[in-house]
Amino acid sequence: MIAIINYGVGNLYSLQCSLAYLGLPSQITSDAAEIERADQVILPGVGAFGDAAEKLAALGLDRAVQTAAAAGKPLLGICLGMQLLFETGLEYGVHKGLGLLPGVVSPMEPDLPSPLRLPQIGWNALRIRKETPLLRYVSEGEFVYYVHSYYAKTGPAYILADSEYGVQVPGVVGRGNVFGCQFHPEKSGDVGLRILKAFAEL
């Protein structure tokens, strides 16, 4: 069973539908005990970093996610959920993340060459940087759907795949059993479904 963490941030319906489509049982939950019982954990999220980190902490779910990660459970952060895995977020102030991956989530705007628009909205090609079981069904250059204005600044060791948008955007990050996708696998058509399938098999 895959636990989808519900902390009042974002659209969980599509994510649950995509897992159901793959025949994977999932449970939307805010219950730490249920997260502990799950085989895999997904941390979704859209919106602002600080607000989301606060909501997660208010429900005690920051601890639940950290515990799951420490227990070696496969964990997948999606979009803002991926950003929360890092140490710090710089969206409307300086906010503390979950600290499961080293790095800072920073605005793309000062780093972009001028002609590119923000947010980055649309399909961008994945360049695979490291072999990882999460991308075992994905080929180099396949497209995934991004919607974001902030990106993770982290060491190359943690970037499993990236996309180019004026800057190198870490598309898939990870260390051990902790993974994150900046794009939305649940909205990336067949490619995204293959990533979710691989995650469920971890």
Partner 1 sequence: MITKRIIPCLDVRNGRVVKGVNFEGIRDVADPVEMARFYNESGADELVFYDITASYEDRSIFTGVLKRVASQVFIPLTVGGGIASVEDFDRVLKCGADKVSVNSGALKNPALIEEAAKKYGNQCVVLSMDVKRVDGQFRVFAKGGRVDTGLDALEWAVRGVALGAGEIVVNSIDTDGVRKGFDLPLLEAIAERVSVPIVASGGAGSKEHFAELFAKVPAVDAGLAAGIFHEKLVTIPELKRYLAAQGISVRLPAREENA
Contacts to partner 1 by CB under 8 A: 11, 13-14, 17-18, 20-21, 46-48, 115-125, 139, 141-143, 145-149, 164-165, 184, 186-193
CB of 99 or CB of 189, closer to partner 1 = 189
Does the active-site annotation cover 79? yes
| Closest to 75 in 3D by CA, of 199, 161, 186 | 199
Min separation Cβ 190 and partner 1, Å: 8
Residue with Cβ nearer partner 1 (177 or 182): 182
- Minimal distance, residue 124 CB to partner 1, in Å: 5
184 is catalytic: yes
C-beta of 178 vs 180, nearer to partner 1: 180
The residue among 14, 20, 154, 157 whose CA lies nearest residue 89 is 154
- Residue 172's beta-bridge partner residues? 161, 181
Catalytic residue among 17, 79, 131, 148: 79
- Residue 36 bears catalytic tag: no
Residue 127 backbone dihedrals phi, psi, to 5 degrees? -105, 120
CA angle at residue 151 from 15 to 67, to 5 degrees? 60
State the catalytic residue, choosing from 36, 95, 184, 201.
184
DSSP readout, 168-197? Answer: EEEEEEEETTEEEESS-GGGSHHHHHHHHH
* Residues annotated as catalytic (active site), given as ranges: 79, 184, 186
